[in-house]
Structure 1
């Protein structure tokens, strides 16, 4: 024994690899967050929605996709506050989520109370307020993301798109696709595709990246929400 240092442990070789072999140790996982579907190559598309900085998302699409996102965000540990004028469309989801815990709460338009987000309890506010959502009382903040659902391209869309860090576009009319191409500087091929997208497919856009993603429901999600659909 050595005084003050305990027992001498077994002698083993150091665990080391040459520098040119480090890449082989990489794990096949993407960014942290929730899986929102698969990309054109069949790889998981992951959205990190719980962030230490304010984050705004605009989805021009269907209720089904918004509800899948809400369910999957709740599965990451986020509290979901839904601001909606059609509470009946969300009631079943709110009751089924969280195994009896109130992880998804419903609020009338303009009546979302302060949520008190923090790192250990992030919040996602889903605004399902129709074509012309009013300015929300609860805005994005650290650990509080806001997802605004627009069923179609509306007069308020340019304002929302301008401040959004992430934009999702599902199937729209050719006229709407042309407007979005002008607003967002979309390439011609992607703008043309917007009017022919299948149910469950979304073009997700950030400032420097665009990606088509297919969202496929799990068995539990299908049992609760039905199959993917663009129209409600």
Structure 2
């Protein structure tokens, strides 16, 4: 008797494509539940700390327009910002007369690529910023920084670090898009208050700020931000401090 050819086994059709996944409830909300849905929305950028409510404070350095930042404070905070900027994919160029202060940071960040480059004062070459490769230029050039060759440009923000207010500070503040102020003397606080239009309470607070706390402000808004280092940042930079 001749063998019968094998016929394919009939399979029950299954809806959809691919493997059947786990059974879970659908991600749906009723219209009356919409008010309970909250999403934190803000600029993409570098998380530089938390505000008094514990909300992450984000510094958006990758912008399609020039962005000027002035920080009257310590190098520690500028270094934390530089390190976190690298973590977001930005390149950092540091213009400084204190190479010994920035060299350990650059060596730690440059694992396999030049993420942080150090340059003498007035010697920063063109950085070629782009939407895919934003740049942060940190100018650590003392209390009277000369005019820089690498200025703010699309996708290139400039952070000018001032250890304390000086003769050129009012000019720098007037051209800044964002100003950060750490602990200063009462007289310096009054000068910063006049330049930035700060209310008396903030002027008084500036001379008592703890290490790691910065008042970030514009002409129309301000907030205090506490920068807490991560464990690797503490191992590299040490604890928060106002002065080196």
TM-score w.r.t. length of structure 1: 0.91
How much does 1:164 deviate? 0.6
From 123, 144, 155, give the equivalent of 1:132.
144
- Following TM superposition, the consecutive aligned residue runs of length 4 or more in structure 1 with deviations greater than 3 angstroms are 14-26, 28-31
Of 161, 170, 175, 2:182 maps to 170
20-29 or 64-73, which moves further after superposition?
A: 20-29
For the pair 1:48 / 2:60, whether they are aligned, the reply is yes
How far apart, in 2, do the equivalents of 1:95 and 1:160 lie? 30
Task: State the aligned residue count.
Answer: 223
Distance 1:145 1:114 in 2: 13
Alpha-carbon distance in structure 2 between the residues aligned to 1:228 and 1:198: 9
How far, CA to CA, are the matches of 1:15 and 1:231 in structure 2?
A: 51
- Which residue of 39, 51, 54 corresponds with 2:51? 39
Equivalent in the alignment of 1:3:
none
User: How far did residue 115 of structure 1 move?
Assistant: 0.4
Pairs within 5 Å for 1:135-154: 135-154=147-166
String of CA shifts for 1:109-160, please: whole Å, max 9, x gaps: 0000000101000000000000100000111000000000000001111111
Structure ID, larger Rg:
2
CA contact (8 A) 1:171 1:194 kept: yes
List gaps (5 residues or longer) in structure 1: 1-8
Looking at structure 1, the residues matched to 226 and 28 of structure 2 have their Cα atoms a distance apart, in angstroms, of 41
The alignment partner of 1:99 has SS state of coil
Q: Aligned equivalents of 1:32 and 1:113: distance in 2?
A: 27
Task: Work out whether residues 196 and 219 of structure 2, in 8 Å CA contact, stay in contact via their aligned partners in 1.
Answer: no
* TM-score, length of structure 2 as denominator length: 0.86
Q: CA RMSD in A?
A: 1.9
- Offset at residue 39 of structure 1 (A): 0.7
Residue matched to 2:241: 229
Aligned partner of residue 207 in structure 2, secondary structure = helix
Equivalences for residues 136-215 of structure 1 within 5 A:
136-215=148-227
